[in-house]
Amino acid sequence: MQTLRLRGLRRLGLKGIDATLEAGQLACLKGRSGSGKTLLLRAIADLDPIEGTVHLDGQDSSSMPPTEWRRRVAYVPAEPGWWAERVKDHFASDPSDWLSPLNLDPDLLRSNVDELSSGERQRLALVRALVQHPDILLLDEPTANLDNDNTAAVESVVQGRFLTAPGRAVVWVSHDDNQVQRIATRVWVLAGGQLEDRTP
């Protein structure tokens, strides 16, 4: 079953991106800094105006209310934002189920955001996206601030728990070749504004 389809995406450095990601697939997106990886994820999440189309299960993003699109196509930025003082005020529904698999103490929910480490923020931002029950996860370097144990926990949750549910797929930006080998079912490389499929 086809899940996510990008056709002719153009904006700033992106020169017409075409790609298809099917359910159950995890595409690792590689590319030099400044090659447009974040730009591409933002475009898929419908955060920036862009030429071209993004389809989810055959439905064009523009034909779906933006709030619904962003819930179904959840983007976790490399530096996620926090708008309320307390951690628990950022969750639309109870995040408890996702905390321990990601090595997060439930007491963290009662703390203030500025008491969190960067690694805790990154994992909590992932939880914030997961509780929305998205179909697609767009992850921008989700393990950049994490040690090996927590990196393994994130990989395990995304691969073993999120991706195993039907109709789901992931785009994961990574600069770590070992990680790409471990988790990717597809390898996308962004260079010169073009997306190349280099799946081995």
Partner 1 sequence: MRDLSILHLILASGLVALLAGLHWRSAPRLAQGLGVGLVRCAIQLSLVGLLLEALFSHVHLAWVAAMALVMALTAGREMSARQTHRFRARASFWIGASSIMVSSYLLVLLALLVAVRPEPWYHPQYAIPLLGMLLGNTMNGIALAMDRLTDGAITERRQIEAQLLCGRSATAAIATLRSKAVSSALTPAINGMAAAGLVSLPGMMTGQILAGSAPMPAVRYQIFILMLITAGTGFGTYLAVQMAARRLFDGRMRLRVDRLAALE
Q: Are 14 and 51 in contact (CB under 8 A)?
A: no
Closest separation between CB of residue 46 and partner 1, Å? 6
Measured from the CB atom, the residue of 68 and 197 that comes closer to partner 1 is 68
Degrees to nearest 5, angle at CA 28 with 149 and 166: 85
Among positive and negative, which fits the CA dihedral 128, 130, 134, 138? positive
Taking Cα atoms as reference points, which of 128, 114, 4 lies closest to residue 69?
4
Rounded distance between C-alpha atoms, residue 11 and residue 39, angstroms: 8
Nearer to partner 1, 46 or 176 (CB): 46
Q: How far is the CB of 21 from partner 1 (least distance, A)?
A: 19
Minimal distance, residue 195 CB to partner 1, in Å: 22
Of all helices (H) and strands (E), which one includes residue 149?
helix 148-156
Where does this chain bind partner 1 (CB under 8 A)? 45-49, 62, 66-68, 70-71, 74-77, 79-83, 90, 92, 128-129, 132
Shortest Å, Cβ 130 to partner 1? 12
Residue type, 139: L
Q: How far is the CB of 77 from partner 1 (least distance, A)?
A: 8
Q: Which is nearer to partner 1, 111 or 185 (CB)?
A: 111
99/97 Cα distance (integer angstroms): 6
Nearer to partner 1, 2 or 62 (CB): 62
Read off the amino acid at residue 138: L
Scan for tokens 């730009």, then name that residue. 39
User: Which is nearer to partner 1, 75 or 162 (by Cβ)?
Assistant: 75
